[in-house]
């Protein structure tokens, strides 16, 4: 096993400027596998096979603050990527799965407006819990060809190694269609599935994110889970076949919520509002016709320095969703967009009771949630 990687900035990424993002990862891996036409934004050396392991919630800041709990991961060469906005799982998986920023793939949050209602992307359900997979088709919500489809068309054996519950999920259909799905149940078969993949593989591990939400990033349960992740990656790396490449990346980091504003308890934040989507750290606020300016002014006044509150036009012009926002995606962005700062967040204790009780959150633009590691390990060639 050889530790491999690179360091330094300077390449123009998916945003067209000197920034490297999640949308650059999978095209660069396909380029390393020799797939024609893929952009090699990240300088990944040629490989015989490649697996992308997504460790949900493994932020760059958290990793560097807890190197003692992740000695193997911390020893790897690599670089730091920006995940884009919002810094949340559904959006980031879609960026990895398509090689596009949110403004183009259209998964603009963990929940976003489509066809006049809130669509929760992880469950593909309405706010009331109605399954929308056959009425709001994932293939139409995200119509672009996926990276997995491009890899399969190039003749690669393409696999998705993830929990069984994700196999027929709306998000998998939207962002990860095109691979042979291999269900896993624990760390052991996750590692085995990665090692058995002969071509291009996407693998997912979500327990670090779960523990971070419940107990907070940096808590003892979170640190112990990080140790298990570190062992998992080391175990895979030790057995990588010659010429095989393992890329480790995350979808977001995390912060602990210490200053919660409850939108359901403050009538000012719902006056003139027809729909609130997103999550505590990244809210989309859709106003009733004619009320957008008043809603923007009110949210700015109430939240003050707790959040960067912008109109849709301002957020789009600032490139929050990437350099291009497709016409079909514009309506999924709120008339008002609020990105929390520090430990603040806008919860909804009536509409979102479970989420409002969580300690760890993500979604906004603070470095602790938007920066993630990109680490490479290559199987050693013999002879």
* Pair (270, 251) in one structural domain: no
pLDDT at 359: 98
pLDDT reported for residue 8: 33
Query: Does residue 149 sit within a domain?
Result: yes
Mean pLDDT of 253-266: 98
- Rounded to an integer, what distance in angstroms lies between the CA atom of residue 357 and that of residue 254? 15
Asked if residue 137 belongs to a domain, the reply is yes
130 and 82 both lie in a single domain: yes
**H-state helical runs in the chain:** 25-32, 60-65, 71-75, 89-98, 102-105, 138-141, 147-153, 170-175, 187-196, 207-215, 220-238, 292-303, 312-317, 327-330, 353-356, 367-370
Tell me, yes or no, whether 279 and 297 share the same domain: yes
Q: pLDDT-based confidence at 9, cuts 50/70/90?
A: very low
* Contact between 175 and 181 (Cβ < 8 Å): no
* 131 and 222 in a common domain: yes
Residues 219 and 334 in one domain: no
383 inside domain: no
Q: Quick check: 215 and 222 in contact, CB under 8 A?
A: yes
Q: How confident is the model at residue 19 (pLDDT cuts 50, 70, 90)?
A: confident
The span from the CA of 171 to the CA of 253, in Å, is: 20
Owning domain of residue 121: 2-255+367-378
Q: What confidence tens digit (pLDDT) does each residue in 182-205 have?
A: 999 999 999 999 999 999 999 999
| CATH, residue 213 | 3.40.720.10
Neighbours of 123 (CB within 10 A): 18
Question: How far is the C-alpha of 142 from the C-alpha of 380, rounded, in Å?
Answer: 38
Is 70 exceeded by the pLDDT of residue 6? Answer: no
Report how many domains make up the chain. 2
Residues 53 and 65 in one domain: yes
Residue 15, pLDDT score: 55
Residues 228 and 268 in one domain: no
Cβ contact 129:178 at 8 Å: no
| In-domain check, residue 186 | yes
Residue 371's SS3 state is strand
Residue 344 has pLDDT above 90, yes or no: yes
- Predicted confidence at residue 268, as pLDDT, reads 98
Query: Has residue 61 been placed in a domain?
Result: yes
Shared domain check, 173 and 70: yes
Within this chain, do residues 275 and 296 fall inside the same structural domain, yes or no?
yes
CATH number at residue 277: 3.30.1360.180
| Residues above pLDDT 90, as percent of the chain | 92
Establish if 280 belongs to a structural domain.
Answer: yes
User: In terms of domains, do 64 and 145 share one?
Assistant: yes
* Claim to verify: residue 134 and residue 279 sit in the same structural domain: no
- Please tell me the predicted confidence (pLDDT) of residue 381: 58
Same domain, 208 and 265: no
Average of per-residue pLDDT values in the chain = 94
Answer whether residue 299 is part of any domain: yes
Q: What per-residue confidence (pLDDT) applies to 115?
A: 87
- Asked if residue 263 belongs to a domain, the reply is yes
Average pLDDT of span 99-128: 96
């Amino acid at each position: 096993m050889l530790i491999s990687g690179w360091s330094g900035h300077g390449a123009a990424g998916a945003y067209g400027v000197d920034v490297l993002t999640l949308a650059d990862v999978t095209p660069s891996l396909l380029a390393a596998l020799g797939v024609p036409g893929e952009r090699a934004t990240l300088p990944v050396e040629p490989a015989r096979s490649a697996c992308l392991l997504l460790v949900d919630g493994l932020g760059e800041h958290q990793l560097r603050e807890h190197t003692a709990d992740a000695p193997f991961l911390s020893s790897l060469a690599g670089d730091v990527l920006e995940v884009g906005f919002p810094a949340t799982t559904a959006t980031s998986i879609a960026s990895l799965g398509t090689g596009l920023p949110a403004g183009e793939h259209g998964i603009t949050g963990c929940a976003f407006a489509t066809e006049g209602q809130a669509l929760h992307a992880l469950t593909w359900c309405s706010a009331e819990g109605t399954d929308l997979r056959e009425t709001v088709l994932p293939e139409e919500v995200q119509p672009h060809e996926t990276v997995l489809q491009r890899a399969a068309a190039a003749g690669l054996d393409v696999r998705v190694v993830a929990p069984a519950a994700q196999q027929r999920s709306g998000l998998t259909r939207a962002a990860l269609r095109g691979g042979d799905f291999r269900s896993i149940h624990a760390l052991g078969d996750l590692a085995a599935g990665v090692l058995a993949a002969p071509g291009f593989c996407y693998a997912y591990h979500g327990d670090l994110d779960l523990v971070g939400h419940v107990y907070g990033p940096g808590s003892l349960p979170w640190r112990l889970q990080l140790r298990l992740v570190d062992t998992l990656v080391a175990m895979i790396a030790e057995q990588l076949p010659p010429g095989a490449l393992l890329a480790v990346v995350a979808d977001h980091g995390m912060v602990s919520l210490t200053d919660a504003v409850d939108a359901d308890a403050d009538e000012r934040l719902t006056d003139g509002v027809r729909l609130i989507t997103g999550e505590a750290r990244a809210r989309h606020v859709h106003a009733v016709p004619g009320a957008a300016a008043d809603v923007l002014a009110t949210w700015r006044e109430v939240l003050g320095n707790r959040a960067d509150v912008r109109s849709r036009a301002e957020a789009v012009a600032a490139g929050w969703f990437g350099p291009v926002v497709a016409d079909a995606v514009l309506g999924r962005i709120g008339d008002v967009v609020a990105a929390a700062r520090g430990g603040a967040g806008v919860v909804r204790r009536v509409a979102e009771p479970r989420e409002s009780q969580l300690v760890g959150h993500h979604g906004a633009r603070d470095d602790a949630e938007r920066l993630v590691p990109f680490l490479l390990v290559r199987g050693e060639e013999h002879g």
